[in-house]
Structure 1
Amino acid sequence: MNRQIPFGRTGLRVGRLAVGTVNFGGRTDESEAHRILDGALAHGMNLVDTADMYGWRVHRGYTEELIGRWLRGSSRRRDDVVVATKVGERMGVGPNDRGLSAHHIIQGCEASLRRLGTDRIDLYQMHRYDPDVCWEVVWQAMDQLVRQGKVRYVGSSNFAGWNIADAQHAARGRGLVGLVSEQCAYSLLTRGPELEILPAARAHGLAVLVWAPLHGGLLSGALRKSREGTAAKSAQGRAASALPANHAAVERYERFCAEVGRDPAEVGLAWVLSRPGAPVPVIGPRTVGQLDGALRALEVELSPEELHELEVIFPPVGHGGPAPRAWID
């Protein structure tokens, strides 16, 4: 069961898994996307994560439009869903159609609201740090949107630990709540966040959303699928580029999963779910079947022995744990 947990210090409660929508548009058609969203919400996955630029295979903004049509399909749906979107990536050809200027943040929010067909964004995330904009400008824009009721909470994505600390220091100087969440890439294969990002999130009371919890499908049985001729996403992009350097570890991982009688995708998600601080994996199913597989991970409780074996296969950075202790002999 996808029980609800506190989302950082916001007072919101969200499911242990969130719905990622990067595949909606180009890889998943609208009818299947709506079935995925229906099934996710029925199982307690009430946080839907998107971005203004998603859907670029059709056109930028398409995914928000698709979600907007789904939200309008039920009078209760908008109140039941925590809508999270992002701003900062390029949305047009103009020099100011990207980044975290006050101009683009406010313009981007208005455009996302129109596409989503709603009057507020529950979690408005900065898609990545913008070194060209000072925090005073960012928080002035975000505060304006919060005061207008167009944004409920502000989050970050792909920030370094020191970006989080700087952002919070600037926000508190203005008497603002600041960031409530950070969304980072984190998996058995991507353990760098354990050094500074996750400790910074804990220190500042941020919830943690995790994108690529299966490293783009590499931890979902990529080698087996390749042998069977069923590899799709795991045969391209992030997964394909990481496979040559990690082939031996992935092979050992799939063998381990077979020995314990569990699907690799379930094991990979279960590992993220077991981490301190209750991170929320953002899964990006292309089909209802993939959603069902992800939900099964909620029923997997890895034993201490199994967790130890996973640490052996995919060791942490340095000696493990946060910096600087990870580097101290």
Structure 2
Amino acid sequence: MHPFPRRALLAGLPFLAAPGILRAQGTWPQRPVRLLVPYAPGGGTDIFARSLSEGLSQVLGQTVVVENRPGANGSIGSDVVARAEPDGHLFLVDTGSHIMNSYVMSLSYQPLRDFAPVSLLSRYPLLLTASGAAPFRDVAGLVAAARAAPRTIGFGTSDAAISYAGNLFTRLAGIEMVEIPYRGAAPILNDLVAGHLPTGWNSTVAATQHLAAGRIRALGVTTTTRTPLLPEVPTLAEAGVRGYDFAGWYAMVGPAALPPAIATRMHDAVEKTLQIPRVRERLAAIGADLGVMGPAELAGFLREDDARWAQAARDGLITRVQ
């Protein structure tokens, strides 16, 4: 008889319990890879993911498809990925709301515990945008109008991070506006273009084509420096909202048990994809900052972001939805 019990031997060989996952590491990807975007089609996250997917298909030698699962501030789609088989064939592409959501709503998952970091894809400034039909043409005009008639001007938001951007603006500007939640950036932009919504908060990625066509106006960017994509648009701090500084980001994560080898290989594929000229040019043209991070760096970045939202909750800048 072997000196070690069979149970002990099995405990020391965890790969025996998951042979499919081990095989997937060697031959990954074995079938089409899905990028799940937890927001409606046409928004910034969706546009970015679709721009990335074509190049990833070329690099990975497998079809990469984008799947939209909007709802509940992105948490419905996140839950799908948290519960998925960790075989490297389903990834989540999300914004900063992925981390922030745990401070504003009840979740069936924990953003840091239940996901494996893969790659930070992009950082980007957000924009305060206005309908062409709105009577104000700059931040000073909006602030004056809001002070003259408190809670009569609406602003559209599409996720928790963008909600924070809008509410931080009203707090620092000392005005009262009405937040109008949407299921994605595209419906906000549609209502801005149609004149049904006076103001909205968007990523540069989502808003660029509408700004170029003159259908909406950009009043200010959320970062402390102007974006090269819209050099004529002032920062909100320059426009009179002192202390305003906020940037959005896109990241890719997988289920918590995703093998580290697959996470690394997907990150490497992302880096190679971003070196393809047509992909890089397309993403740069819509305002994406393509400074990526790998799994280990992204893990630290997400922990820092979590600490930021914990402090924002303590300071009363974000509140939990009942």
TM-score by length of structure 2 reads 0.27
Greater fraction of residues in strand: 2
Higher-Rg structure is 2
- Greater RCO (CA < 8 Å, at least 6 residues apart): 2
